[in-house]
Structure 1
Amino acid sequence: MTAEKTRPFAVACMVAAAAVLTDQFSKAIALTALADGRRVPIFGDAFGLQLAFNPGAVLGTGSGMTWVLTLVGVAAVAGLFVMAARARTVGWAAGLGLFLGGAVGNLIDRFMSPPGFAIGHVTDFLAYGDLFIGNLADIFLAAGAIAVAVMLMLRQRATSGTKVAPATPPTFGVPPEAKQ
């Protein structure tokens, strides 16, 4: 691989690693600081910190199929890794790195957290009112998805733009056939 091709992949790996480390560090702090089950308000009732363990996916969906979510997570991480390796720009790599880091962060919980290997519950601690409780990996997933969507829109805009014909010198009222 040339340096041109490895640079975006290196960026994706560094962004993903930073996201995973930040996510896992924040979860370790939450497990210690919020172990008593209390809710710590940050912005009144709108946002706070509260420890929760999610056996499911977004908003607790699929909570009875944790092992399936683990398999889907493994497949997603593999696919994102391949996409990151094929990224051609730093922008794409950074977006995919965020997405990959978020997916790996939650997948670590699936493998390492109780109740057991590959059926672990994801540690959540960011309480959004009474709507749901999430974690930093979820934020990284959302940020990666937004970054990838923006990159797709920019690419679409660049490829679907109308092509402008090259400028021709003014004719000053002389018909084109007369100029030949």
Structure 2
Amino acid sequence: MTDAPTPDATTPVPVAHAKPRRALLLSIFAGLAVFAYVFDQLTKLWVTTTMVEGERIPVLPPLLHWYYIRNSGAAFSIGENVTWVFTIVMAAVSVAILLQLRKLGSAWWALALGLLLGGALGNLTDRLFREPSFAMGHVVDFIQLPNFAIFNIADSAVVSSVVIICLLTLRGISLDGSHHQKDLAAPKGQGPA
């Protein structure tokens, strides 16, 4: 009878935690997407049921006011006459995010994509179901800061996700969690001067 060999420090150990890790990443993604979406919709419901359009309430003057407006365009009211385009773009972004999930391997990317999806769906819901008509709805905005556009929670989630994605990209962290470093060495055949 022979004894089974005992593993040493050089013997590779099978990765048994790959599926639980993937489940954790998808949970982070889904949790943040749901949180951003629900928080956005609840704050918009609060605004539309307690304020009249155009009303401005000081919260922390002069830094923060609630100012209820409905925006038919994009950020800074750009494209007010093409609301349907933003509806299509937000729907496409949402589908693209879901298609990228199979590559997800980083908790930071899970956080960024969850916020992005929750924010996109929050404003997409407004576009689809708010007045004046289906797919042409105006987005409820209500957060006003000095010398800045009026925005909502969905916008905050989208901007936060874009900041995180930019930082991840600058640090060379891919969606799958791998790290890429740019080769800063001199091109081949050229030595130091």
Shorter-chain TM-score: what band?
0.7 to 0.9
Q: How far apart are the structure 2 equivalents of 1:85 and 1:28?
A: 34
Which has the larger share of helix?
1
> Which secondary structure does the structure 2 equivalent of 1:94 belong to?
helix
Q: How far apart are the structure 2 equivalents of 1:45 and 1:108?
A: 31
**More displaced 10-residue stretch of structure 1: 9-18 or 20-29:** 9-18
The 5-angstrom pairing of residues 146-165 of structure 1 reads: 146-155=163-172, 158-160=179-181
Question: Measured at CA, do residues 36 and 96 of structure 1 come closer, stay the same or move farther in structure 2, by a change above 3 Å?
Answer: closer
Aligned-residue sequence identity (percent) comes to: 28
Does structure 1 residue 56 correspond to structure 2 residue 76? no
Q: How far apart are the structure 2 equivalents of 1:38 and 1:120?
A: 20
TM-superposed deviation, 1:155:
2.1
> Which secondary structure does the structure 2 equivalent of 1:159 belong to?
coil
TM-superposed deviation, 1:154:
2.1
TM-superposed deviation, 1:161:
6.6
Structure 1 residue identity aligned to 2:70? F
Is residue 9–residue 86 contact of structure 1 (8 Å, CA) maintained in 2?
no
| Of 124, 133, 145, the match for 1:107 | 124
TM-superposed deviation, 1:5:
2.6
Give the TM-score, by structure 2 length: 0.77
TM-superposed deviation, 1:8:
1.3
- Tell me the residue number matched to 2:82: 65
TM-superposed deviation, 1:4:
3.1
Is residue 53–residue 69 contact of structure 2 (8 Å, CA) maintained in 1?
no
Structure 1 residues 56-112: Cα deviation after superposition (integer angstroms, max 9, x where no partner): 101111110001110011001111122234210111101110111111110000011
Q: How far apart are the structure 2 equivalents of 1:22 and 1:135?
A: 10
Q: Give the unaligned 5+ runs of structure 2.
A: 1-17, 174-178, 185-193
**More displaced 10-residue stretch of structure 1: 44-53 or 31-40:** 31-40
The CA RMSD over aligned residues, in Å, is 2.0
Q: Give the unaligned 5+ runs of structure 1.
A: 164-180
| Of 134, 145, 158, the match for 1:117 | 134
Q: How far apart are the structure 1 equivalents of 2:80 and 2:102?
A: 32
Q: How far apart are the structure 2 equivalents of 1:161 and 1:116?
A: 49
Question: Measured at CA, do residues 116 and 36 of structure 1 come closer, stay the same or move farther in structure 2, by a change above 3 Å?
Answer: closer
Structure 1 residue identity aligned to 2:120? A
Is residue 112–residue 162 contact of structure 2 (8 Å, CA) maintained in 1?
yes
- Tell me the residue number matched to 2:111: 94
> Which secondary structure does the structure 2 equivalent of 1:98 belong to?
helix
Tell me the number of residue pairs that the alignment of Structure 1 and Structure 2 aligns: 162
> Which secondary structure does the structure 1 equivalent of 2:171 belong to?
helix
> Which secondary structure does the structure 2 equivalent of 1:120 belong to?
coil
**More displaced 10-residue stretch of structure 1: 32-41 or 88-97:** 32-41
